Structure 1
């Protein structure tokens, strides 16, 4: 039924794109252009020069501030996920969510985040952060332009898609806005900006946000705290302009990980009464004063404390300059920026499924007997105490979790210079762009993981597993204050990189409406770095097994260098039958080199990913209604689907499962807007695809044949949304009433497609009232508390699933939540 509703909405949008033709054709030219809505947006991303959305020969969307208001996203991934071809997972929290473009088998590494056409960090994925951690949506974003496929590989590195946030700039008319958001999840957020003139031809804009949020799940401590500020100064010349900008981020964001949802002994039994589906999390105040221990390179035991509530603490500053000028027939653009920051990241990751309390204890009996002597029985106590804990007074289960403590510093300087010229020939006109891009960047990291034993509960308490003799006297503990394994993973490294790229693009308009464009980009990289070597060690603590098998630094390092190079290209053709109907086709080749982190890692999987992408599109635009239909096909060869699995014996994420093969994705996406009357609009986005694995090989004995032809992990075959909006005026007040239905199809957690993530759909709604510069809004998400999982337990189920037909361990979508927004514009 949900699929039928979604398809019907898209079909209505298609019908609407055709039906208003006679009425709209009679409009004067200026009025018609003003009424074009999304089809008439002026875009700059992936293009030689600014042009209408309808005129480009690739798939692009513009998200305006009005769109943001009506979508009312819970985070940036939620906003992007409303577009066709983008499947996002929004359940990790405010940042570090999943962005997948047209089934490309990656969690975000093929999506380039940019601000005003330049990335803030050259690579798409840093050490446990990506673009949404350093570029956050607020009132200083004028609009967002999103390119799907098309020329993205030529205009950015590592890119199957570009997300480009265009910032607010000042003008001769002063303007500003202040906005307060309150949410029933303990959300308090203040956004503001001010823009205007500084002097003759000189303008400024400054704004940002500050926010405190208890969270969508109950951690026992705040989820988000901090904010962002952005500012720019622009000066106009007779032939162009220059803009200077500054960004500063200082923000804490807690990360949500998967939780057990059903009893592995009987998957039909829900664990909701112990760890609430919508509110529960393994994050806990019990992990706010964690003691981390390891041996350094000199053999000395080091310890430090860590606090889970710090979450992902991002501190980043960026400053840059942008120049654009016209010199006769030449258009010159120069952009440069420098970013420096550090990330301190703490999170509590899922590992293995919950286990029966008696069975888990029995699995340690032999080791405990060897270590402590004649063990009569093993029992549980609350960590660090002698208070008995009986698992069977609750779920009868206990479970493991992995505390991760990561510290990284990063820098990235990047510059882009391009020149463009349009000239006439005997056969049409050419608009040629030549450019050079370069970046100097690097990262360092210190990583320590250690494993804990916990109860199955929201905000779980940590447990100790105690060995007793026949007289009931304690002999020793398997754990140590809740710790199962100290320093199960220990890494340290540093890396630096330099790269440069040459690119060119030619748009050839043979006759009016018929255009052919082609582009090429060649990149050369040079990496150098080092990684600290580790070995197995014992910390020497008595009466515990928790320190028997840890990792310790040896004092030695390995130095590594790499010099990858890649070449990307695109070729497209477009024919517009009129200003209302057009078609296009395009082929692109994308190569992504291994990232700089490979030279500060020990034995990484190093592979250059290659993808050939083909797309063909139909464009229909009449007045404020439009429909874009794009068919696409992508072939990845080689595709690296290798992963590190969790080994419960050692407590380490060190079981390398190499899977190298191909991925083939074919499908069609619909992007439509129906606007028959001034007071009603229906927007819809729908993607239907067939993402599958092909020709896999494995060197570790895993059976690649079981993955042949399977659906790509966590990729649905169908997803989309419908967003109706009613806009009218009453008693001098402008009212908007809007809704959103979002559908996510069935997916699988594993390469073998043994365990499914069921399909789900959610409903949201909102109302906005505007009068005399004031605006009030009430918006709600997941009104009916629909259930849905966005991932399984990737540490243990990536190959063959969870032993159940449907996932019993995963990251649930957020439950019903409501926000109230009041703002004043001037």
Structure 2
């Protein structure tokens, strides 16, 4: 999962904001009436994310970025994490699907998937209160389409005090709201791959202060990788109605989303060369850039549900997100105060499916390892069903994961009031507010072991194993109905039923006199966590496995003697509270009209969610945390920056320092490539420089972003040998660039994304190679209101590695990796009306 920007709203072709707060009802043009004009010169918009009240960013001590609607069409990516690859300072790892992403900011650690320190928002409120719920990252429930007006990002700064659980920053997707009459209709299709999509958006004033906007998308197809079925299927619809009146507005909005995508997870590869310069090769019949581990020959498999009853899991549901939400946003002036309120309730659920090869080896080795001497193999499905395997073809002993996201409902309310006072010769802006949230985490994890071949091309088939005595050891390829690989069978077989309540009052003050602005903000987060966890790993005599007739044929097979179950009558209690204080203070000096400097220091924190509710962290009887300090992690940050903006030139440079501590569990790999779960008790620090700039001259434009980061593990209480090492997946240097030419009938250019090497694991032995991706685009306007577009992501089919699941090159060379898509070309036709 992957990233772009810093301080101005002109990044990557975006334009500079005006001084109004975006929440105050000031028009933010929706485009549509003249698509060519909108493409050439995006309209000015306000920056409103993670701040008390909007003003010119050259007068504020924050690092912020905006990607506008006109630029989104040029990025050749559709996922939220893919868009975030184009924001300086943000590290976003993705295969361009929404979910199974890993996102961080300014060198803060990527210990696990999701976005722990960076909050994802939609229209100013969090998608999920915790962005790194295991098997439920926030971007799984968020989509980018034509209803999107812009993406705003703030790194560090006041993000710590104007949102909970967001010490590293906030990325906010802001919807169109119908200020101008017009709409867009777009159809798009993959070239060389099967994925068709239709988008629409329409908004208009209705008179007497009323306006509306509605839009969404639907898509279906196999996608850019060969999996043998429609991995992409679904869409969303969003609508809002606004009533503007003197001194304010009120807005109602709703969203329904039901969308599924394939999980482009880890894939087997051959790793040779040296740890400093590894070489990645495809296995026979496989292409890691255009294949995935999913297959239409293994669409469904048996297991047990959360009530320990036999059930069937549908792996083709992939990463499925379902959201039904309603919200209210209002702002009005009263007695000199500007009062605003945002409220949203979201009914959230879905499913997470993943299949990972745990051991990849020649068939005889797999047979001997899991079946003993003389064991035999034969296909359990697919076109070769029943055929014996007598050669040394490669097979995989795999883990299948299904996580039912029963209920991730999220209710949030943010009420604030601001007033500007005249104090002496300056202006004092004061803000006070209170944030309330309730986050439910009701999910069930199921695991199964299976054996399959590696035919590639979406045709991996299940394989049965039989002992030398003729006893079947698998059922349709399933070896065990649980994890059962180097750990107890039910080690991660868990159900969480927990609710998190957050109450956070906050306040800020900013005084501006002449060229100088000084400000500070304070927030007090109080959390209450209550619920239950069902897991045998919590001990206390909890039973975690049994024999069960899964396929209901009246007999118990060998595989059915290895079934992970939940201790339904012995739930562990969860009952604890926490609180922490966040603060931020900064100073900005406007040296001259086009130039300013700023400095800021912040302390924020991130409360931990279900990842700490395990053995060793939770007292299952009282529900209290064994060590209360694990409830949250503190993040401290300092930044100093220069901002220049004049005519067609924009340049922002920010130096930053950040530190945090973390107690967590990380899924890693040892030197042999085997997946291991690593307990973490560490502190980290990072320092670096962000650059963002833009040059415009006539029809030519160039936008640039770059980040240099020096990050390290400063203290490790579990493994002191790691102290001083660079955290995994954090490169020293990354950059983004987009040169483009905008002529009368055609706009063309290319998006460049590059990164230097990083380490595969915290041991700092194996390096993941860096890459530069070239993704050209062209937009042709044959007649007014019509745009023909072609986007080619990774046009040179570069191998861009997201992660390698090994700490060093294994002795046999076989391990797993995740990569970005190979060459992916999409054509589109857009009509503005």
2: CA distance, partners of 1:294 / 1:433: 49
Residue 296 of structure 1 and its aligned partner are, at CA, apart by 5.5
1:693 matches 2:713: yes
The Cα shift of 1:240 comes to 0.6
Cα distance, 1:583–1:142 mapped onto 2, change above 3 Å: same
Q: Report the 3-state secondary structure (helix = DSSP H, G, I; strand = E; otherwise coil) of the residue aligned with 1:421.
A: strand
Match for residue 608 of structure 1?
Answer: 632
Distance (Å, rounded) in 1 between the aligned partners of 2:524 and 2:517:
24
Kindly state the Cα deviation for residue 250 of structure 1 after the two structures are TM-superposed.
0.9
Q: Is the 8 A contact 1:92 1:257 kept in 2?
A: no
Shift of 1:67: 1.1
What is the distance in 2 between the residues matched to 1:809 and 1:178? 41
- 2:210 maps to what in 1? 202
Please tell me whether the aligned partners of residues 756 and 807 of structure 1 are also in contact (alpha carbons under 8 angstroms).
no
Change (3 A) 1:391 1:402: farther
Is 1:583–2:581 an aligned residue pair? Answer: no
| Shift in CA distance, 817/52, structure 1 to aligned 2, threshold 3 Å | same
Please say if residues 203 and 212 of structure 2, whose CA atoms lie closer than 8 Å, have aligned partners that are also in contact: yes
Task: Tell me the CA shift for residue 38 of structure 1.
Answer: 9.1
* Aligned counterparts of 2:632 and 2:500: Cα–Cα separation in 1: 17
1:355 aligns with 2:364: no
Does structure 2 retain, via aligned residues, the 8 Å contact 1:39–1:53?
no
Cα distance in 2, alignment partners of residues 596 and 75 from structure 1: 25
Q: 1:226 aligns with which of 219, 234, 239?
A: 234
CA contact (8 A) 2:242 2:252 kept: yes
Please tell me whether residue 403 in structure 1 is matched to residue 400 in structure 2.
Answer: yes
Please report how far the alpha carbon of residue 599 of structure 1 lies from its aligned counterpart in structure 2 after TM superposition.
Answer: 5.2
SS of match in other structure, 1:364: helix
Residue 777 (str. 1) matches residue 789 (str. 2): yes
- Aligned equivalents of 2:631 and 2:101: distance in 1? 24
Q: Report the CA distance shift for 1:50/1:268 in structure 2 as closer, same or farther (over 3 A).
A: closer
1:593-742 equivalences in 2 (<5 Å): 593-595=607-609, 598=612, 603=617, 606-636=630-660, 638-640=661-663, 642-643=665-666, 657-675=678-696, 677-698=697-718, 704-729=719-744, 734-742=745-753
Partner-residue secondary structure (3-state), 1:169: coil
Query: Could you tell me which of 492, 509, 519 is aligned with 2:521?
Result: 519
Three-state SS of the structure 2 residue aligned to 1:285 is coil
Q: Cα distance 1:543–1:132, how it changes in 2: closer, same or farther (>3 A)? A: closer
**In structure 1, what is the equivalent of residue 47 of structure 2?**
43
Q: When the two structures are superposed, what TM-score results if normalisation uses the length of structure 2?
A: 0.85
Q: Which residue of 1 aligns with 2:441?
A: 443
2:263 match: 255
Q: Does 1:277 align with 2:285?
A: no
Assess if the C-alpha contact under 8 Å between 2:59 and 2:517 holds in 1: no
Select the residue among 580, 592, 596 that pairs with 2:606: 592
Q: 2:99 — aligned with what? A: 95
Name the SS for the 1:286 alignment partner.
coil
Structure 2 residue runs without a partner (length 5+): 5-10, 16-37, 484-489, 537-542, 550-554, 619-624
Which of 240, 261, 271 is 2:248 aligned to? 240
The residue that corresponds to 2:430 in the other structure is 432
Unaligned runs of 5+ in 1: 1-5, 7-12, 18-33, 369-375, 699-703
Instruction: Note if contact 1:355-1:398 (Cα within 8 Å) is conserved in structure 2.
Output: yes
Give 1:492's aligned residue: 495
1:666 to 1:263, Cα distance in 2 relative to 1, 3 A? closer
Call closer, same or farther: CA 1:804–1:515 in 2, change over 3 Å.
farther
Partner residue, 2:585: 571
Q: In structure 2, do the counterparts of structure 1 residues 391 and 316 end up closer, same or farther at CA, with 3 Å as the change threshold?
A: farther
Which of 73, 79, 82 does residue 77 from structure 2 map onto? 73
* Other-structure match for 1:786: 798
Q: Which residue of 2 aligns with 1:373?
A: none
Kindly tell me: are residues 47 and 364 of structure 1, through their superposed partners in 2, closer, same or farther at Cα, counting changes over 3 Å?
closer
**Distance of aligned partners of 1:764 and 1:269 in 2 relative to their CA distance in 1, 3 Å threshold:** closer
Q: Distance in 2 between matches of 1:146 and 1:265?
A: 40
- Aligned position for 1:123: 130
Q: Which residue of the other structure, out of 144, 148, 151, is the alignment partner of 1:141? A: 148
| Bigger radius of gyration | 1
Distance 1:647 1:465 in 2: 27
Residue 648 (structure 1) shift? 14
Q: Distance in 2 between matches of 1:114 and 1:315?
A: 17
CA deviation map 1:543-602 (0-9, x unaligned): 854344432233321222110112111111111111211111111112112225655989
Correspondence for 1:753 = 764
Paired with 1:249 and 1:55, the residues of 2 have a C-alpha distance of 39
1:672–1:246 CA distance, 2 compared to 1 (3 A): same
Query: CA 1:587 to 1:818, structure 2 compared with 1: closer, same or farther past 3 Å?
Result: same
1:464 is matched with 464
Residues 378-431 of structure 1 deviation map (CA, whole Å, 9 limit, x = unaligned): 221112654211352x4xx32222111221212111111111111122363210
Q: In structure 2, what is the equivalent of residue 557 of structure 1?
A: 571
Distance 1:766 1:743 in 2: 17
Residue 59 of structure 1, aligned match among 63, 79, 84: 63
